[in-house]
Chains A and B, each alone.
Chain A
Amino acid sequence: MNTSDPRRPYVRPMAGWWRRNPFFVEYMVHEATALFVAAYALVLLVGLRRLAQGEAAWNGWLEALRSPVSLVFHGVLLAAFAYHCWTWFRIMPRTMPPLIFGGKRVAPGVITACGVAATTACSLVVLILAWGATR
Chain B
Amino acid sequence: MSETVLPGGADLDDLLSREAIDDPFAFYARLRETGPIYWNRRWNGWVVTGYHEVVEGFRNHTKLSSDRFAGPFGEELSAASSQYQQLFAFLSKFFVWKDQPYHTRIRSLVNKAFTPRSVESLRPRVRELVDDLVESVRGERDVDFLARFAFTLPIVVIAEYLGVPPEGRESVRAWSEDLGAVIFVRGNDTDRMRKGDEAMDHLVEFLRPVVAQRRCHPQDDLLSGLVQVVDSGDALSDDEVIANAILMVFAGHETTMNLLGNGMVAFDRFPDQWARLRDDPSLARTAADEVLRYDGPIRAMARWATEPLELGGQRIERGDRVLLVQHAANHDPAAFTEPDRLDIARWPNKHTTFGQGIHTCLGAPLARLEAEEAFHGLSQAFPRFTIHEKELHYVPTVVSRSLTQLHITFPGS
Are A and B co-members of a single complex? no
Name B's A-contacting residues (CB within 8 A): none
Name A's B-contacting residues (CB within 8 A): none
